[in-house]
Homo-oligomer: A and B are copies of this chain.
Amino acid sequence: MPVIDSTPVTSPPVDVCVAAGTEHPRPDGQDRYTISEVAAYTGLSAPTLRWYEEIGLLPDVERSHNGQRRFGNRDLDWLAFVRRLRLTGMPVADMVHFAQLVKRGEETFDERRQILERTRREVLARMAELQDTVAVLDAKIDFYAGAHQASERA
């Protein structure tokens, strides 16, 4: 059976910007990964990947002739993005909403942009808080280190 490319390349502009950046284990065209391969590559567990698909966070996963999932590079890119969103603290439900917008196509570009802009603001706010926290930690670390040295000198 020939290898089938899940992305017809010149299809509707689903989300071109997802396909940016990182390298893939296999080049486009040979990118048909089993669930355990994707689990190993992404660090997510196989049940989690199934669950992501079930709730609509990872839609349209291909299947092999006998019903097994075959993930593509597009899925890996999407999962990498999902991982980033998860790190920002975005709830899974919101990511599902975003995934649905992506599925609906170009008409949702505006809402998607708004969501990402809001997320961006939240991330920056979070980074500022973390920066402050680093300052607090530094102060405490200095205190403990100083006290330790003092008691050593005593």
Residues of chain A at the chain B interface (Cβ within 8 Å): 13, 16-17, 20-21, 81, 84, 87-88, 106, 109-110, 112-113, 116-117, 119-120, 123-124, 126-127, 129-134, 136-141, 143-145, 147-148, 151
Contact = CB atoms under 8 A, between A and B. Distances in A.
A137 B116 contact: yes
A16 B123 CA distance: 32
Given A106-B147, A109-B148, A151-B106, A140 B127 contact: no
Nearest to A89: B89
B130 A87 contact: yes
Contacts of A81: 136
Main secondary structure of the interface of A (DSSP, over half): helix
Copies of the polypeptide in the assembly: 2
9 contacts: A17-B143, A106-B147, A109-B147, A113-B140, A113-B148, A120-B138, A124-B134, A127-B127, A130-B130
Contacts of A131: 127
A88 B112 CA distance: 28
Contacts of A112: 140, 144
A87 B120 contact: no
Contacts of A21: 136
